[in-house]
Structure formats: structure tokens, C-alpha cells
Amino acid sequence: MITFNKVQLDNGLKLIHHYDSATKMVALNLLYNVGSKDELPTMTGLAHLMEHLMFTGSKNVISYDDELQAAGGVSNAWTNVDMTNYYETLPACNIETGMWVESDRLIALSLSDESIRIQKDVVVEEFKQRYLNEPYGDISHLLHDLAYEIHPYKYPTIGIKTSHITDVSIDEIKKFYREHYAVNNLIMCVSGNITFDETIKLANKWFGKIAPADIKPRTYISEPQQTQKRTLCVSRDVPRNMIVKAFHMAGRNESHYPSCDLISDILSNGKSARFFQNIMSKSHVFTELDAAIEGNIEPGLFLIRAQLNDGISFDHAEEMIDNELTRLYKDGITAYELEKCKNKFHAAMLFDNIGYQEKAQKLCEYELLGDASLFNCEVDRYRKVTVEDVIETANNLFNPNNSSTIYYKSNS
């Protein structure tokens, strides 16, 4: 269990504090409630571009990295469909430097023509390397476009196409910055060797006088229930054929979410999982076969990814996958099988969140979900899942009419 303090400043900033005496360091995690789901369909990739621009300097901090590194700190950031997260670690005695640079780029980011041009080029190059020129790199684009009709999860975080990045204007970038990078749209956690009183003092000094913005309530169009199987076949210059299947599943706060997560482990978490025991170890149909969830706040996707061996037809491979999915809810699972996956989840939670930096990030994420204290309840939430819950969830989840499948054919 993580012990923490939480307070909201008068301007709306949500501040979380976790004390850790085992380190001489402090982690500063800032989570902005903005992701690619907050973009327009004609202007995608903007949240990720904004993440890059946040490192280009501000009014009083010409070089963010130089100032932080001089204080013995390191930093990074990431963007996904739901949020944009910035994090850094510094010696506890230099935490004020982190507060200073973060507050300055929150209120006075230097969005010059030159910095925007450079970062656009960087993001476009990333787009080309990871999604256009990488084998199987466009699968995410194809799959989300197939699986979603109207929900903004349809937009990849990198953007739908490079022209959305190159063509976005400086005025549109500034508008996005003003609308989403606001003190009352921010969750900040300070974790490490610093007291709660000192944390509040520094937060008030560097963030307390920042005026809140007029953040408009956001509601996202619900994706209509899928009632028909969707398929897409493409040919690419890749080594092997691949099948990727997506099924619509519950969002993070929904009751069936833990069951979906546990099903992915029952199928593919290790050599004792069903995909390995029942398929991989008994046949040479696949070179790779795994299951995973996207883990989004809103209803997301349960994914199955299979790389086929040479000479294996799509029909035969898909039949083996579908039979295994059907067996899960028709024949059921054992209590031992479920308990093993629950134990693995519990162990992963312990090991993945052992450090003060990891705790800072997770506390922010759970606060965005509704309350940071939910982090301490997550294991119990999974422990309550029953065999009957898993069977019911699998029966609904793996309905063929709930599936979107890409047949990714090799030209070689």
C-alpha cells in the first residue's frame, strides 16, 4: 500500500505527495489531462507534437534540459490517447529547480516559428521510421481505423498522416496549448525524500499564483456497439503473414475490465498460458502468438497478434485462434488457472511500482481515473474476479460480431 497526501490548490492544481526516506532523490511527475482523443479528426498528432514542443524552452528557461541536468536531474515524457505525462528525477536538495522549469514552461512556453519547424521535422521523421518504414508499422493505423467508427481512439497518437503534423499552424498549436496546458488541467505528484510541508510550500511558490484557465467539460462520443464482423486484407513487403484481431472491451473504470485483463494473461502470459500450451507447443502454425489489452480509460480494444509460419493459410491460422477463444468460455477455466494469473498481476504491481518515480506516475494516473487511492484498491479489484466472471466476459468479448481482423499478407 502506498501512503500519500493529497491537496488541491486554490487555482485547481491537484497535488499529491509521497514520502520515501530510502532515497536522497525526488521524482516530479506532471500529468496533463490531454491526449490524442482530444484532437480533431482533421488535425491529429497535435498532442504528441505538443509534448515535443514543451522541451524547446520558455521565457525564463532557454534550455530545459541544460537547467535540469545542471541540477543533477533527468527527464522524459510520453503521450497516449488519454494523457500526456512529464517526469523527472533530481537530488532532493534541487527539487526547486524542477518546480521552476515546469512552472515556466506551463505559463510561458516559447513557441517560435523555428522551434515549431524543428520539432515538426523530428515528429515527421519519427512517424516515418516507426510507422511507415518499419515492417508491420502501419498495423495500428489500419486496425484502429477499422475497429472504430466515430470514437477519437480512432486517431493514432502519432497522427493519422504526416500532413496533419506539417500543416498545423502556429495559431492552432498555441490554441491547443492554451486550452489544455493549464494549472487546473494538471495533476502533479512529488515523490521521494521531501516532506509534505515543503512540497506544499514549493508548489504554492511556483504554481500557486498561476491563474486557472476556462477548461471546457469534455465528453467523448460513445462508439456504437459493433454488430458485424469487420475484416481488411492488405499486402506489404514484410517477412511473414500476420493476423491481428481486435475486440471491443471495457474501459478502465468498468466492472469487466479486470476480467478482460486476466483473460489476456490466461491466454498468453508465459509458457503455462493457453496459447503456448495448446497451440505453440503442439504445432508449427505460428512463430508468434500473443494477447494483450490496450488499457485505455474509455472502452478500448483487446488485441490478438499472430505471425504465421511459412505455408500456413490465413483460414487455418484463424480457425486455431478462434477455437482456443471459444474453448475458454465454452469449457471454462479452473480456479487454479485464474488464481495463478491473479498472483502474477499482484507480483507485477509490486515490482513495477517499487520505486519512488513509478509511484509518482501511478498516483497521478489513478487520480485521473477518479482518485489516487484507487491504486491501493487495484489488487483487491482483481482478486474479486470469479471463474464465472471470466467466462461471462469471454463469451461477450469474443463474439465474432465484436471482432475486427486484419489479414496482413507478405509480398515476399
How far is the first Cα of the chain from the last one, in angstroms, to the nearest whole number?
A: 52
The answer to whether 357 and 27 are in contact (CB under 8 A) is yes
The answer to whether 35 and 157 are in contact (CB under 8 A) is yes
Element housing 410 (H / E): strand 403-410
The answer to whether 179 and 198 are in contact (CB under 8 A) is no
Architecture of domain 5-206: 2-Layer Sandwich (3.30)
Using CA atoms, how far residue 10 sits from 108, 140, 195, 215, in Å, is 21, 41, 20, 15
* pLDDT band at 141; cut points 50, 70, 90: very high
Mean pLDDT of 195-209: 98
Residue type, 138: D
Using CA atoms, how far residue 355 sits from 273, 343, 351, in Å, is 29, 20, 9
Using the predicted structure, report yes or no on whether residue 412 has a pLDDT greater than 80.
Answer: no
* pLDDT, position 151: 97
Could you tell me which residues come within 8 angstroms of residue 275 by beta carbon, excluding any fewer than 6 positions away?
267, 268, 289, 290, 291, 324
Domains 5-206 and 230-410 share a fold: yes
What are the residue ranges spanned by the domains of the chain?
5-206, 230-410
* pLDDT band at 257; cut points 50, 70, 90: very high
For residues 123 and 167, give the distance between their C-alpha atoms in angstroms, rounded to a whole number: 13
The answer to whether 258 and 382 are in contact (CB under 8 A) is yes
Fold of the 230-410 domain: Cytochrome Bc1 Complex; Chain A, domain 1 (3.30.830)
* pLDDT, position 409: 97
Taken in order 75, 79, 82, 83, the sign of the CA dihedral is: positive
Using the predicted structure, report yes or no on whether residue 177 has a pLDDT greater than 80.
Answer: yes
Using CA atoms, how far residue 197 sits from 26, 190, 348, in Å, is 15, 12, 32
* pLDDT, position 217: 85
Mean pLDDT of 322-346: 96
